[in-house]
Structure formats: C-alpha cells, structure tokens
Amino acid sequence: MLRWWMAGAGAEELRLGRPKRCTIHLGILPLIVFALVFFGYGFGSHRSQELGDSEAVTRMVYAQPKVLTPSRKDVLVLTPWLAPIIWEGTFNIDILNEQFRLQNTTVGLTVFAIKKYVVFLKLFLETAEQQFMVGHKVIYYVFTDCPADVPQVPLGAGRKLVVLTVRNYTRWQDVSMHRMEMISRFSEQRFLHEVDYLVCADVDMKFSDHVGVEILSALFGTLHPGFYSSSREAFTYERRPESQAYIPWDEGDFYYMGAFFGGSVVEVYHLTKACHQAIVQDMANGIEAVWHDESHLNKYLLHHKPTKVLSPEYMWDQQLLGWPSIMKKLRYVAVPKNHQAIRN
C-alpha cells in the first residue's frame, strides 16, 4: 500500500528530484488519522478472517513410513524429474483422501460416447460410481451425438452428470482427434469454473478397482500397458519429421496411453489446445500422425513432463495381457468388445 501511494501521489516529484509538497491542512489531520486507523483496522480484520488458519489433517493412525525401506523394490516409483509413478503400495489413500477433502476438491471426468460407442456408457458410469473418486465431488461430462441414448444411472451424493452434445465424424480417427479440440474448448468456457481437476477417459473401459485422488496432480499421463517394459526404440512414436508429433529415435521417456490422462483444468487446457493445434497443422500439411491424438499427446508429454505418472494398473487389457504378478491391482480395464452388439 505504501509503495503504491508513493508511486501514485509523488512519482513525478521523485522522478524529477523535487521535494513533495504537503497541502494537507493541519486542522483535518486528526480526522484523517482516525479514518486511516478505523478503515485500516476493518480491512485488516477482514483479511485475517479471509486468510484464517489452514485446516490440519485430523488425527490418523497408520504405519510409519521408513526412510530406509522402499515402498516397492520391483518397480520404478520415481521418474528422473522427480514425479512419482503410482503403483499399489506406494501411497496411503486415507491420508490423501483427507488432504483432498480439506481442499473441497471437485473432479471432472470427461468421456466421449459417439455414435455406436454409446453402448459402453452404462457400464462405464456404473463402475465409476463404485470405484472412481469415491467420497469426493464428481461431475461426469458426457460428450455425445446421441443425448437421448445416455442411460439413467443412479448417482451418489455430490455427483452429477452433464451431457454435452457434439457432432460425430465418419472415421473413428477423426472422432478421436477432435476430442482434443472439444476438451480444450470446454475447459476454457466451462470446466475452469466448475471443477478443480479433469480426468479424460475412453468409454469402452470399466473401473474394476479403486481409482481415487492418488492420481490427481497438475498433469498426469498413464503408461501404455503394451510398452511399459520396452525400450524407447520400440515405442510407436510418430517417426516422420514432417509431422508435428515427430519424436526422434534417441528421445522419449515413456509411451503414454491416450485413453487416460488429466490434471488441473489449466494444464489439461494447455495440453489439449496444443495437441489440437498440432493436429490442424498436420492436416494442413497433408499428414496424419500414426496414432492420431495419442501421438501428439506423447510429443506434448515429452516436452512438458507430467507431475505424476500412472502405472499400467490404471490402463490394462486382461484379455490380451493376462494378469502378471507385478500388477497388484487392475484398476481401469478394457471391456471385451462384442462387435455384433455394437453394430446392432
């Protein structure tokens, strides 16, 4: 306040080196002092009420963490840029639930149910109600071209469903790529004002175990179940330099799945907007990345390191990959496809 007053009231005199002139009549000085004290006290009191003391985590009883005992010895739990990799056994969900409860967190879950893929929506929502962010406020954002076909699924307290009508496209590749455009647009127009975090998921999946606030961070990606143990040379990055998704053979940290990513609304907005712009530029140059929006997602996360990385527990296909012993939980899994049912 003092620096602002000096800059505003006497900036010209200070710049020119002239002393400031005092034009205040001595008779009204006591009134000014009284006003400053009165309003200053009121302002200070209001600020102290606004700031207050932050709430502390309530008393909890749990096993003490041991500095010399790693939580998991069989997997990497920390990236070279110090982002945690989330596996079962690396976190205490009770502590995390309490922390996010104190923040009064609301989580948005976006899902695209376009054309015949709306048949997967009922199972997706039903299992989300059982396993996704249980005990926290959730808004399901369903993007669909068939709003009348969105099923009525009973929702718990503090949870609601919002249907966002969008157009469809002939090719599934175009549906997938335009997802980035839609999420970025609605993040700016709506999500920023309604939720704290966004989780972006594919609809032909189901939640088969707990998926909670342990995944929340400024920006997270999920390890692809087919490449989590592979060298970077085996990753199916876009390798053509003409594409905006191009990643050279000697670069790359992990291969991330396009079916499950998220973060704060602001960070998801930046990610999806950048991917959409890259896709548009590729289209103008007559090229389409090998794995479409997933290729652009991997390019973005290479240069904008995620602050959390989810293990393949959060993206798995048991029908194709079985259940290896390294996977203590299978949390978000592919639904076996009944293509005849989809066609019907």
Q: Residues with catalytic annotation?
A: 294
Tell me how far CA of residue 232 lies from CA of 227, 249, 316, in angstroms.
9, 7, 20
Instruction: Using the structure block, give the residue that is written with the tokens 């962010």.
Output: 133
What is the CA 305 to chain-centroid distance, rounded?
13
268: how many CB neighbours lie within 10 A of its CB? 26
Q: Residues, the chain, total? A: 344
Dihedral sign from CA coordinates of 325, 327, 328, 329: negative
Contact indicator for 265, 195 with CB cutoff of 8 Å: yes
In whole angstroms, give the CA distance from residue 116 to residue 118.
Answer: 5
Cα gap 51→18, rounded to integer Å: 40
- Give the residue among 291, 266, 268 at the shortest CA–CA distance from 279: 291
Alpha-carbon gap, residue 91 to 98, rounded angstroms:
13
Structure tokens given for 95: 């502590």
Number of neighbours of residue 153 by Cβ within 10 angstroms: 15
Lookup result for tokens 């009944």: 338
Q: What angle do CA 299, 309, 101 make, to 5 degrees?
A: 125
Q: Nearest CA to 217 among 268, 274, 159, 256?
A: 268
